């Protein structure tokens, strides 16, 4: 991640927890920060990040994460919310480093009873 993107992320962190990233707390810290910090501190660490990020694909928080993480999927939007008639993608599977993983399958499951979001499935093969 370049210095200007890191600076912008740090500027946005106080807003991210309430505005974009669900409850915004993971271990007492804003969620996006640790994801980017891990990528900067341990760039070769095998990592998977998955869940409801409450951020659409074009959002700035997701854009910041994508500078350090690879999205599973084909680059298209895959709606996951609301579960009964999905219109927006809010749920993701991200991984890093990109060169160590191959995505052999990706899909949104047709399951609307367990949550108000549809689950996302990715099969990742370690290279």
Which pLDDT belongs to residue 125?
Answer: 93
- What is this structure's pTM? 0.72
User: b/e string for 70-107 if b means 16 or more Cβ within 10 A?
Assistant: bbbbeeeebbbbebeebeebbbbbbbbbeebbebeebe
Which pLDDT tens digits describe the chain residue by residue (127 residues)?
455 655 555 555 444 444 434 444 433 334 555 666 666 677 788 888 888 888 888 888 788 888 888 999 888 899 999 999 999 999 999 999 999 999 999 999 998 888 899 999 999 999 9
Domain residue limits, the chain: 3-126
Which pLDDT belongs to residue 75?
Answer: 82
Which pLDDT belongs to residue 15?
Answer: 43
The DSSP secondary-structure symbol of 84 reads T
């Amino acid at each position: 991640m370049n210095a200007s993107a890191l600076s912008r992320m740090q500027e946005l962190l106080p807003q991210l927890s309430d505005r974009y990233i669900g409850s915004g707390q993971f271990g007492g810290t804003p969620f996006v920060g640790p994801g980017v910090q891990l990528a900067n501190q341990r760039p070769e660490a095998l990592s998977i990040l998955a869940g409801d990020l409450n951020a659409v694909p074009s959002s700035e928080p997701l854009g910041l994460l994508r500078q350090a993480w690879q999205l599973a999927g084909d680059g298209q939007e895959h709606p996951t919310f609301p579960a009964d008639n999905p219109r927006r993608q809010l749920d993701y599977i991200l991984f890093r480093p990109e060169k160590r993983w191959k995505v052999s399958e990706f899909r949104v499951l047709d399951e609307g009873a367990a949550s108000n979001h549809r689950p996302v499935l990715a099969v990742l093969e370690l290279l």
